[in-house]
A and B are shown apart, each in its own frame.
Chain A
Amino acid sequence: MAIHEKSLIDPERVLRKDKLLIDGIDISGDWNLIILPRVVQDYDLKFLKEVMEEPEGKTILQCYQCSYCTASCPVHNYWDERYNPRHFIHLARLGLLDELQKYTDVMWRCVSCHKCTHRCPKGVLVEEVVKAILKAMSKRGLIEEYPSKKFDKFFFDAVYQYGRIEDGELLFGWIEKQGYRVTKDPLLKKPIPFMGNIPQWLKELALKPLKNMNIGFLLLNAKHMLFHPKTKEWNRFKQVLRKVLEEEGTSVS
């Protein structure tokens, strides 16, 4: 659906008849398709302002709807045609929020590959604008929690707490969040990679260094899992970060 305007036509408004007679005159042929007019009154003009208030969303007005972003997008091309950044920008600018809400199941699927931003001839930061639209929608409660948002939050919490992330903790923490039972050692409550009711692929991958007798790798990662790598002078910076987040209205755990 590269030509997205078609999606604005409700199917129940399209009348198509095999034989169309009006006042006894047969007008079948090219004339047998009638689209009933649709009156839209629920434009929300404030929404565009809200998107532009996000620092990432400022460039939204430069868009001239050429669809280069959509044509480049791997999610659109290889996953779901309904993911259409050009359309999202169009709807956000019109303020057609109920139309925008029809795409909440795909809108979060952006993989941040930045092909759209890179190729945009008008200098719109497309990826950032789509994220700004998502943020503005979240603030209004128009979109429910979605997987990538949960992961982003989870990632940020690790950064906020220690200043650095740790791969093992991130991976197993996320797996645990998905509802798998991760076995932990009784003393420090850290996950044990080879045990528990975790997905089979992960168990096999975690066992590979052990099978290869890759002792250095195992020791290093075990050390990191037990003693989380930290930025030393983090506490004072963390307080400033906290202040910034509160100003922004982002919740901190």
Chain B
Amino acid sequence: MMQELRVRKPPLGGIGKRVAYYPGCSLEGASRAYDVSARLVTKELGLELDYIEDYNCCGAMETKNVTFWGTILLNARNMSLARKQGHSAIIAPCNGCSFSLQRAEYFLETDKEILEKVNRLLEEAGVDPLREIPHTYHLLEWIYHEAGPERVKERTKKPLKGLRIASYYGCLYTRPHFYARTYAHGAEQESRNRMRETADDDERPYYMEALLEAAGAESVEIEPMHTQCCGGPHSLSDEQVSEKFVQMILQTAKEKGADIIATECPLCHASLEMYRHRLLMKGVSNADTPAAYFTQLLGLAFGYSVSDVKLKDNLSDPLPTLKRLGIV
């Protein structure tokens, strides 16, 4: 299955080696480990991230429930800033941020009235109006297509030998196809022309597995939990549901024999770590698999040290596991 999927060809022209980087609020605070390791890894792979100066919050999945126009406007401002810096591709490392930007992209692209109104408002606010709408890609998708498993293999100095990794993608990385522009079996013909070749498989994403396997690790299938929700925007407001979802994810990972869970979203990561701690306090068994960002693991494989990739920032303590397996 994996072998068959991995031969899908990159798009004509590609995404570009130098792109606008929208880190999002979280990556400059509590999730700095993701930011630091992402910069290290992309630099090592010969890619360049151009930080969007003075960006604002994308609104995540929360503000869209308060105001439709406000949320579109927040994202349009970021897009406009990226255009001003001369980019037509934005890279967001967070599922929430890439979702928000792609959602705005969808509404601006499919509804001319929305675009006109938003442009009027942007001008009023002293921001350049959008003449061209930049596309947003997830960091993982970009790394896979512009560097790819081959290059990761080339750069790997200390293979992650013997490390069994469960890749956890979360919800919004490939969903919904309207925004993430993945190929979906249910999509109608008219929405197919918006879909793009670079996108991951919608129900069985494999980019993270492919990259980590290239770095020498062994991947563990946790389907269907790899795209099961972690509670997302309800992580704080609906604790019972989030706890149940995280418990399902952690227990499946443990049952399948994973040593560590690789994540690609700061919110999923925080949610997994927070509820892991709470489940352990409650004495729930089989829920102690630690989590690390996939960029941290790639960084370790490229020969960077524990403090380079800020592994101490992970509240779920992956260090003892990695030490036991002789990786660090």
Contacts and interface: CB of A to CB of B under 8 A. Distances in A.
A245 B74 CA distance: 12
A224 B25 CA distance: 11
A204 B316 CA distance: 12
Given A168-B30, A245-B70, A250-B67, A113 B229 contact: yes
Interface string A111-130: 11111011111110101000
Contacts of B63: 152, 155-156, 159
B66 interface: yes
B231 A111 contact: yes
Nearest to B74: A159
Contacts of B54: 231-233
Nearest to B240: A79
Contacts of A163: 56-57
B73 A241 contact: yes
Interface string A212-253: 101011001100100001011110110111001101101000
B238 A148 contact: yes
A152 B175 contact: no
The DSSP consensus for interface residues of chain A is helix
Interface residues of B, number: 71
A175 to B, nearest CB: 8
Contacts of B265: none
Given A114-B172, A148-B238, A204-B277, 19 more contacts: A55-B68, A112-B61, A112-B171, A117-B175, A147-B238, A151-B62, A151-B236, A152-B62, A164-B56, A165-B57, A205-B315, A209-B315, A224-B28, A233-B126, A234-B56, A237-B126, A240-B125, A245-B69, A245-B70
Interface of A: 54-56, 68, 74-75, 78-79, 109, 111-115, 117-123, 125, 127, 131, 134-135, 147-153, 155-156, 159, 163-168, 170-171, 174, 200-201, 204-205, 208-209, 212, 214, 216-217, 220-221, 224, 229, 231-234, 236-237, 239-241, 244-245, 247-248, 250
